[in-house]
Amino acid sequence: MQDTMMKVPLSLNHLLERAGKLFHGGQIVSRLPDKSYKRHAYGEFYRRARALGAALQGLGLQKGDRVATLCWNHHAHLECYFGIPAAGGVMHTLNLRLAPEEIGWIAADAQDRFLVIDDVLLPLYEKFKHLHAFERVIVFPFSGASVPAGFTGYEALLAGADPDGFAYAPHEEDDPVAMCYTSGTTGQPKGVVYSHRSTVLHSLAACMPDYNSARNTDVVLPVTPMFHANSWGMPYIAVMVGAKLVFPGPHLHPDDLLDLMTQEPPTLSLGVPTIWMTMIQTYEASLKPGSPNQGRWKLPAGMRSTVGGAAVPESLIRAFDRHGIWIMHGWGMTETSPVGTLSYPIAALQNASADEKYRRAALAGLPAPLVELRVRGDDGRDQPWDGKSAGELQVRGPFITGGYHGIGSPPDKFTADGWLRTGDVVTVDELGFTRISDRTKDLIKSGGEWISSVELENTLMAHPAVAEAAVIAIPDEKWSERPLACVAFKPGEQATPGELNEFLLAKGFVKWQLPERYEFIDAVPRTSTGKFWKLKLREQFPQ
C-alpha cells in the first residue's frame, strides 16, 4: 500500500517533455562559425532531440553506451544533452581545448562508442583518432559545408528519424545521463558520471532565487563551455524553465562576446573570471576618448552573472557593478555537478556597508541546498566556523559524485565516512560564507606560516595598472618557500615591484607576506577550461 507520495523516478526526459509542451515558442540562438546567427524555437529543439534519440536507437545504441561530443556551445550540442540520454545513452562531453593525446586517452578510457563532432573540429579529430576507434563519427555541419565522405551527417541522421514514434529508453533514476572528465591538473583525468536524479536535483537547487535565479523570462548566455562541467548545469536549467538561450558558438574573444551581448542582451550569463576580466577591460577601454571601439558596445545593465570555477577578485565585482551588472561568485567542481557554494546577499547583511557587501560577494559563499559542507583540519577534526580556522573543504550530497568511472572511490579523494575531499583549503565564517584560500598544492608555506596565493592575487588585481596576477611558491633555503608574483599589466600601464608592494601593504598585508620576487609577463597561461594555469608558471619559473 502506498500511503505517502508517488514513487516517480526523477528523469531528464521530463524536462524535455515539459519544454516541448509548455515552451515551444521559446527561442534558442546560436552563433555560427561565420558569426551569423541561427534561430530555433524550443518546439523544433524538442522534435530534433527526440529525432536524435530515435536515430541513435536505430544505430543500435544500447542502454549505458557512451556517446561523446566534441562541440562548441550551440543548439545541436543542446540536442545531444537531451537526445542521447533519451535513447538510454550517456553523453560524454570531450574538452576541445585539451591536447589531442589527452582527448584520445579520455575517449578510450570512457570507451565511447559514437562521437558527435562539429565539422570545424575535424582537423582536431584527425590528430587523436589513432588513439580510440569510435564505431561511428557523426558530423554536425556547423559551418554549413557538406559533410566529408566517410562520416555520418548529423542532419541526414535526424532527417531520417521519426521523432513522433520515438519511445524513451526505460530507466531508473540513478541511471547515468552524462559524463565529464576532471581537468587532470592534479594527475590523470578522472571520469565523473551524472545520473538522471543528480541532474534533476542539481537543476532545481542551482536555479533557486539565491543561486542562479533562472526564470522563464530570462535570456541566458552560457559562455562556460558545454564541455566544462555541463556548462555548470545551465543548459538543463534553461530548458527546465524555458528561458531563451543564446549560445556564443566558437566566438569567445572579448570583442565577440561584447558584440553578442549588444546584439542579444542577456539577463543571465556565466563564465570563468579570466574571460570576465578581459571583457570588462576591453569594454572600459572602449569608453576612453579616441578608442576605435567607442560606442560599439552596450553592456546589458541589470544582467546577473554567475562567475566561478576560479577565485573572483573583489575588483572584478566592483568593476561590473559600476555598469549595473551583479556578479554572483560560485565555487564548484566537475565532481559537484558543479554548483557547490554561491555568494548572495543575506538578510543579516542588509544593513552592512557597501564595502562589506563587496567583500562578502567576493567570498565563495553559502552551500547550495542539499550540499553539506565541513572543514577538516590537519588533526582530522572539524574546524569551527569562525572565519579563521582553515582546513580541507569536504562535501557530501545527492549531486556530488560518490566515485569515478572505473576507479571507484580512492581514499585520497573520499573519506572513510563518505565525503568528497575537494583538495581546496578554506575557512568558513559565522554566517556560513566559505572563503577559498588555495588548492592544497598551491599553498605557500613561508617560515612555517601559510600565505594565501589567492589573496595576494586578488589584491594585486585591484591595482589600477594590473590586468592579471598569479602567485606561485618558489623554494627558499631560509624560509622553505616564498611567493613569486607573475603580473601582466593593462595595455599602456606599468608599475614597479616597489609600487606593487606599497599597494599590498596599504591593503593590509604584512611585510613577510609580500612577494619575494615579481615576474612581468604578457598574460597568465590558461588551462583548458580558461583558468589561470599555475602549473605552467611553476615550470616556467622553477627557481
Enumerate binding residues for ligand AMP (CB under 6 A).
182-183, 229, 308-311, 329-334, 338, 364, 422-424, 436, 439, 529
Catalytic residue among 152, 450, 507, 516: 450
Nearer to ligand AMP, 24 or 439 (CB): 439
Least Å distance, CB 52 to ligand AMP, is 27
Instruction: Using the minimum distance from each CB to ligand AMP, give the nearer residue, 238 or 363.
Output: 363
CB-closest chain residue to ligand AMP: 334
Shortest CB 375 distance to ligand AMP, Å: 14
> Minimal distance in Å, beta carbon 439 to ligand AMP?
5
CB contact set of 381 (below 8 Å; sequence gap of 6+): none
Question: Which of 69, 93, 182, 434 is flagged as catalytic?
Answer: 182
* Residue closest to 465 by CA, chosen among 313, 291, 323, 281: 281
Q: Which residue has the cell 528523469?
A: 11
Report, in Å, the least distance between residue 471 CB and ligand AMP.
13
Q: Which is nearer to ligand AMP, 89 or 309 (CB)?
A: 309
SS3 content of the chain, % helix, strand, coil (to 5): 30, 25, 45
To ligand AMP, the closest distance from the beta carbon of 310 in angstroms equals: 5
From the candidates 127, 298, 388, 445, which is the catalytic residue?
445
Q: How far apart are CA 446 and CA 258, in angstroms?
A: 42
Collect all residues with Cβ–Cβ distance below 8 Å to 154 and sequence separation of at least 6. Answer: 76, 116, 138, 139, 140, 141, 147
Please, which residue, 385 or 533, has the CB nearer to ligand AMP?
Answer: 533
The answer to whether residues 500 and 518 touch, using CB atoms and an 8 Å cutoff, is yes
**Strand ranges (DSSP E) for 409-448?**
420-428, 434-439, 444-446
Nearer to ligand AMP, 12 or 454 (CB): 454
Please report how close the Cβ of residue 340 comes to ligand AMP at its closest, in angstroms.
8
- Does the annotation count 182 as an active-site position? yes
The number of helices, as runs of H, and strands, as runs of E, in the chain is: 16, 25
How far is Cα 338 from Cα 306, in angstroms, rounded to an integer? 12
H or E segment and range at residue 248: none
Q: Is 140 helix (H, G, I), strand (E, B) or coil?
A: strand
- The cell 562539429 sits on which residue? 118
Answer whether 214's CB lies under 8 Å from 221's CB: no
Alpha helices (runs of H) in 331-452, residue ranges in sequence order = 354-361
Q: Which is nearer to ligand AMP, 266 or 330 (CB)?
A: 330
Question: At closest approach, how far in Å is the CB of 169 from ligand AMP?
Answer: 29
Q: Who contacts 201 (Cβ-Cβ below 8 Å, separation ≥6)?
A: 10, 370, 398, 399
Active site residue 341: no
Active site residue 17: no
Alpha helices (H) in 415-478, listed in sequence order: 453-460
Closer residue to ligand AMP (CB): 362 or 467: 362
* 450 is known as an active-site residue: yes
Q: Which secondary-structure segment (H or E) carries 500?
A: helix 497-506
φ, ψ of residue 475 to 5 degrees: the values are: -65, 145
C-alpha cell of residue 542:
622553477
Q: Is the torsion defined by CA of 342, 346, 348, 353 positive or negative?
A: positive
Burial class for 144, CB neighbours closer than 10 Å (0-12, 13-18, 19+): exposed
Cβ distance to ligand AMP smaller for residue 401 or 446: 401
Q: Smallest distance from the beta carbon of 388 to ligand AMP, in angstroms?
A: 19
User: Looking at residue 494, what DSSP letter applies?
Assistant: -
Catalytic residues: 182, 335, 445, 450
